[in-house]
Amino acid sequence: GSTEVYGIIGNPVRHSRSPAMHNAAFAACGLNKVYVPLPALDGAAAVAAIRTLGIAGASVTIPHKETVIEQLDKVDPVAARIGAVNTIVRRGDELHGANTDWLGANQALGEALELAGAKVLLLGAGGSARAIGFGLREAGAKVILASRTPERGQELAQQLDCPWVPLEQAAEQAANALVNATSVGMAPLAEQSPLPAAALAAFPVVMDIVYSPLQTRLLREAEAAGCHCIDGLAMLLYQGAAQFTMWTNQEAPLAIMRQTLLENL
């Protein structure tokens, strides 16, 4: 049969690791599929192009995760609540939207603790904190949100039906897990940590979603404090694996995908 085309729509997409990861996965499974960057200034036009060209599925990244929603025939309920779609799946003549960021985060964190009933301190109120927060609520975890800008944080906390604290007070909290979804720790903030080292022993599990660098100051200090640490590769890998499964109905080849991500970080 003919090659099926997948891709990533966003602006910019030149530096995305997704093509390398998904092409390696398709090849490892012997699938006649390719995954290409699809730079797009206009999200709605990009979805129309996916329809017209018969593209079999796509990832969606910044700045189109929100705007594509109204162009799709169906959107998964959690993605709709988050208000962001990062995955488009063709089902016959229809295009369906999903969000695998929360699935990836839950899988990464869920390997270290039972999410149902767990108390999780979530740092940040941006796009990824939003997806992770709704995902944690979906899994039955109790969330405490801590972030820098009060209005933005309080608005998200209200939607998540959870308490909000200013980031400076996050160090006074204790929880079963701590998740950093701020960009603190990522270059150019690579020398910074969102929480003082002395506060980390109050969190048995610490996940940092920053992946550039992978070994953040937060994770180095959490390791020293005896916490179970999860780096940003886990969420990145598992959100991609969930996409692979939605597109192929097959289990994702995790080892090859992980290795490809590592080689391309």
Q: Which residues bind ligand NDP (CB under 6 A)?
A: 101, 124-129, 147-149, 152-153, 167, 181-184, 186, 189, 209-211, 232, 235-236, 239
Least distance (Å) between residue 237 CB and ligand NDP: 8
List 177's β-bridge partners, or say none: 120, 205
Helix (H) or strand (E) holding 151: helix 150-160
66-104 as b/e: b if 16+ CB within 10 A:
ebbbebbeebbebbbbbbbbbbbbbeeeebbbbbbbbbb
| Cβ-based nearer residue to ligand NDP, 55 or 218 | 218
Question: Least distance to ligand NDP from the beta carbon of 128, Å?
Answer: 3
65 is catalytic: yes
> Choosing from 65, 74, 119, 142, which is the catalytic residue?
65
C-beta of 54: minimal distance to ligand NDP in Å?
A: 29
Task: Using alpha carbons, select from 37, 51, 40, 34 the residue that is nearest to residue 90.
Answer: 51
Shorter beta-carbon distance to ligand NDP: residue 76 or 101: 101
The residue with its CB nearest to ligand NDP is 126
Q: Beta-strand (E) ranges in the chain?
A: 4-10, 33-39, 57-60, 74-75, 87-91, 94-98, 119-123, 142-147, 164-166, 177-180, 205-208, 228-230
Q: Per DSSP, what are the bridge partners of residue 36?
A: 7
Q: Closest approach of Cβ 246 to ligand NDP, in Å? A: 16
Q: At what angle do helices 101-110 and 232-248 cross, to 10 degrees?
A: 120
Strand partners, 146: 123, 165
Please identify, using beta-carbon distances, which residue of 38 and 235 lies nearer to ligand NDP: 235
- Residue 91 CB, nearest approach to ligand NDP (Å): 25
Closer by beta carbon to ligand NDP, 143 or else 209 = 209
Copy the structure tokens of residue 43: 């999200």
Please list the active-site residues: 65
